[in-house]
Amino acid sequence: MTELSPALPRQEPFGVHLMIDGYSASGPLMTDAPALRQLLLDLPGEMGMHPICAPVVVEVGPNCLKDPGGLSGFVMIAESHISFHTFPGRGFVTIDLYTCQTGLDRQATLDRLLHAFRLVDAEVHVQERGLRYPAENLAAF
């Protein structure tokens, strides 16, 4: 059994994980792969992040009763990743943005994404990550 590490004094987190479940989503980003790809090209620079690969957007057909299909898009950034999964038949989109940038302008990023997907309603979750991230290397490589 693995023991949990003892609690350490609070420090600045390693990063921020922004998760959005968007409802009544509409517009081209829900069904237009080139439009979603363009957002994945533009968004990292707008947030001061650095893409390390070309965005990938794929159309996913129906998977099950719960999943009627849509678009899935992803871009890996030096700071981590951004991903989207659209469900146009349900007007639903999931957005996942994880960055080691602790200075992420959360409100500006949220506003940009709410506008881009024309969201009427959203559940927004922000999780700080790496609260016990070591201040220095633990091993030499």
Q: Is 100 a catalytic residue?
A: yes
Catalytic residue, chosen from 17, 64, 100, 125, is 100
- What the block records as the tokens of 84 is 């989207």
Of 82, 69, 74, residue with least CA distance to 31: 69
Catalytic residue, chosen from 24, 81, 85, 125, is 85
Q: What CA–CA distance (Å, rounded) separates 97 from 83?
A: 6
Q: Is 85 a catalytic residue?
A: yes
Q: Is 81 a catalytic residue?
A: no
Q: What is the DSSP string of the chain?
A: -PPPPPP------SEEEEEEEEES--SGGGT-HHHHHHHHHHHHHHTT--B-S--EEEEE---SSS---EEEEEEEETTEEEEEEEEGGGTEEEEEEEES-TT--HHHHHHHHHHHTT-SEEEEEEEEE-TT--SS-SS--
Catalytic residue, chosen from 24, 72, 80, 125, is 80
Q: List active site positions.
A: 80, 85, 100
